[in-house]
Amino acid sequence: MGLIPDDTIAEIRTRADIVSVIGQHVQLKRAGRNWKGLCPFHGEKSPSFNVSPDKGFYYCFGCQKKGDAFTFLMEYQGKSFHEAAETLASELRLGGHEPFFAISDLLRATLRHRPDRILVGEVRGAEAFDLLQGLNTGHLGSLTTIHANSAEQALTRLAHCVLTANIGLPHRSTREAIALAIHLIVHIARQAGRRVVTEVVSLRRYDAQNEQFVLEAWSSGM
């Protein structure tokens, strides 16, 4: 495992979007210039975990955990500094980690062939916008996966991923588009060393007044 050059580390620190990095694991909501959520490092019912995109820093007022994108991956995933740097460099496509094609590029190329269905192994970033466009333009029956702690959180994470595309779609419009595109969410969790289905819900609509998705337990008769 080779050393990562200091200038690459510095570039990662400058370019890493800490909201996007932490948002893959924690449900965050905007609070002024910062973002807030339930701390992933200790149990709590009221959010005391703050993320500052301007400072590239997070801090929990409950357990006093703090740090940057490197620290979060090291604490949350048990990675070494080098492993955290490798992960961030890969996401930023630095230092020889750039793939031949981004997932969003492949999605756009796929849509030009007018497929009946689209299967995306995992949504993690800006490709969520292209997938959403495809789902809302005649590609029903498509399928993807996303990491989240519940079916409802999966929808919020999907919205966060769409925002990373930087296309200026308003908060409400993003969620309304998701409600039109997504019909069924199946949540799978690991329990006692096995993966089990914990939720199967139907997305009915987006309630703009209360800023929440309206979900119903799915049944085969719906």
- Taking only the tens place, the pLDDT of each residue in 64-81 is 999 999 999 999 988 888
Phi, psi of 160 (to 5 degrees): -65, -40
Q: Above pLDDT 90, what percent of the chain? A: 33
Residue 11 forms part of a structural domain: yes
20 or 107, higher pLDDT = 20
Residue 186 forms part of a structural domain: yes
Q: Assess whether pLDDT exceeds 80 at residue 23.
A: yes
Residue range 150-179: average pLDDT?
A: 86
CA distance 92 to 20: 11
Residues 116 and 191 placed together within one structural domain of the fold: yes
Residue 1 forms part of a structural domain: no
Residues 110 and 78 placed together within one structural domain of the fold: no
Confidence class for position 1, pLDDT limits 50, 70, 90 = very low
Q: Assess whether pLDDT exceeds 80 at residue 58.
A: yes
Whole-structure pTM value: 0.53
Residue 112 forms part of a structural domain: yes
pLDDT tens digits, 125-159: 778 888 888 787 777 678 888 988 899 999 998 98
Last-in-domain residue among 92, 123, 152: 92
